Amino acid sequence: MRAVGFDSVDWAEIVGRLGGEEGLASSARDHGALLRVREVRSASDLLRLAFMYGPGGLSLRSLAATANADGFCQISDVALLKRLRKAASWLSVLCRRVLATGADQEGPSEPSAPTRPIRIVDGSRLEGPRERAWRLHLAYDPTANRIADASITRLDQGERLDRLPPEAGAIYLADRGYPQPDGLRRLREAGADVVVRLTWNSLRLRDEGGKALDWRLLFAEARAHGGLDRKVTVHKPRGKFAPLPMRLVLIPKPPDAAARARASAQKASRKDQRKRTNPLTLEAADHLILLTSLPAAGFSMQSLGALYRLRWQVELAIKRMKSLLRIDRLPAKDDALALAWLHAHLLFALLVDAATVEMGDFPP
């Protein structure tokens, strides 16, 4: 297990970002993290312990020994466990505070503004012991190079476009795991737009005349004309759902990318023990299929493709959290302790993001 030291960290700077000593103490009391000052003498000491346990990588026993040796806290590992269990909701609130500070610095944006905010949505499974797992949900801002919103939920809280509160005027980018009719509608009702990748059988789509799409003809037209841009409506197979107007865009892939996608589709079929890959799946592999609410005026087929290609940045953000902070190496078996460990990682990542953005704004 790695141990990230905090001796070189400007602790006063971190405390200042989170409201100062008085602000931390007040929020810790309000959320039941530090009701009695005994072994842990202050909220900033409790935060330091959470960081040393979470991104610092220390076990409870090692953390207790380190805290005792450093002289800032005389506490047992059992008492530490109890303290950190109670800190989970407080750490979550501190995460919201850092996110809100970043949003305030960005400033408001109007839907008609020349440059609209972009939010790349993605999620990732975080494994724990005893087959327990949690889910990290992120909305990433590629313009500011920072996490714009985040939450940690149980695994049964699936990936949805509206899992995080939508921002009016923003453009949301998402991969093919996200095109759900209800999520699309809630995003549109919130005043946001969406560019989401599809598979040919992701959604029930109809043309302007109300007929089901013939994907074979669509793929043939896209090949013949170097792409396809068509108005469609989104429907649900069951229940009441008013048709949702959208644009369907098919962009042919370069030959090498199409060949890799076809090989991947055939490999997936063999893995699922299907004798034959669906011909439509192979034809779909030759195209980038996008569904969007953005108007054709101002957002051409080519600009949509360029916009969607920003999506890799959220994957890098998640990869950094896993490879550098190891947020996916959860050791805690207790749910409350696990949430404290996870939110300590998320809070640390958000603070690093904030400092990185500021350094970019004020280079040496």
Domain boundaries, the chain: 11-93+332-361, 117-317
Tell which residue, 194, 201, 205, has the closest CA to residue 284. Answer: 201
Q: Specify the pLDDT at position 37.
A: 76
Q: Specify the pLDDT at position 115.
A: 80
Q: Specify the pLDDT at position 364.
A: 46
The CB-side HSE value for 17 (13 A sphere, CA atoms) comes to 23
Residues 6 or more apart whose Cβ sits within 8 Å of residue 106? 117, 141, 144
Helix, strand, coil percent values for the chain (each to nearest 5): 45, 20, 40
Structure tokens at 209: 């005349």
DSSP string, 58-109: --HHHHHHHHHHHTS----HHHHHHHHHTTHHHHHHHHHHHHHHHHHHH---
Q: Specify the pLDDT at position 266.
A: 84
Rounded-to-integer distance, Cα 201 and Cα 215, Å: 9
Q: Specify the pLDDT at position 327.
A: 93
Cα angle value 96/27/5 (rounded, 5°): 70
Q: First-to-last CA distance in the chain?
A: 35
204, burial (CB in 10 Å: exposed 0-12, middle 13-18, buried 19+): middle
Cα angle value 254/306/225 (rounded, 5°): 50
Rounded-to-integer distance, Cα 241 and Cα 191, Å: 19
**Contact assessment for residue 183 and residue 161, using Cβ atoms and an 8 Å cutoff:** yes
Give the sign of the dihedral formed by CA 78, CA 79, CA 83, CA 86. positive
Q: Specify the pLDDT at position 360.
A: 64
Rounded-to-integer distance, Cα 302 and Cα 227, Å: 10
Q: Specify the pLDDT at position 9.
A: 58
Q: For residue 95, how far is the Cα from the chain centroid? A: 14
SS3 of residue 261 by DSSP: helix
Q: Which residue stretches of the chain have pLDDT < 70?
A: 1-9, 104-114, 273-275, 360-364
Q: Specify the pLDDT at position 71.
A: 81
DSSP at 249: E
Rounded-to-integer distance, Cα 344 and Cα 271, Å: 38
Three-state secondary structure readout of 298-332: CCCHHHHHHHHHHHHHHHHHHHHHHHCCCCCCCCC
Rounded-to-integer distance, Cα 112 and Cα 169, Å: 8
Q: Specify the pLDDT at position 35.
A: 80
Structure tokens at 251: 């962009």
Rounded-to-integer distance, Cα 282 and Cα 250, Å: 14
Structure tokens at 14: 């971190």
Tell which residue, 102, 143, 92, has the closest CA to residue 120. Answer: 143
